[in-house]
Amino acid sequence: MSQKFQEIINSERPVLIDFFATWCQPCKVQSSVLNTVKENVGESARIIKVDVDQYPALAAQYGVRGVPTLAVFKNGEMLWKESGVHDVNTLTQLLKQYA
């Protein structure tokens, strides 16, 4: 996953990474929010989900201590990271800002 992850975050397009866990209730809420965000931003940004239980090293590498944690990358650089559930408008604006 690490090599593929590097390729994804090195993109010219902003990439929103959703670090989540299958057992996490707020993550399920965040997931439905992200579906709407994806519709709003279309092809201008990507949204990728990373299960912290399947990829603990990746989560640790980026300082993920709680789920959900969202991070925005562009050209391999982390531009923004926050834990907790975020609303559609905040995330849509954020991705449009970096697009």
Identify whether 5 is a catalytic site residue. Answer: no
Which of these is catalytic: 16, 27, 50, 64? 27
The two tokens of residue 55 are 């990829």
Indicate if 16 belongs to the active site: no
Looking at 24, 79, 85, 99, which residue is catalytic?
Answer: 24
88: left (phi over 0), alpha (psi -120 to 50) or beta: alpha
Instruction: Report how far residue 6's alpha carbon sits from residue 11's, in angstroms, rounded to the nearest whole number.
Output: 9
Q: Could you list the active site residues?
A: 24, 27
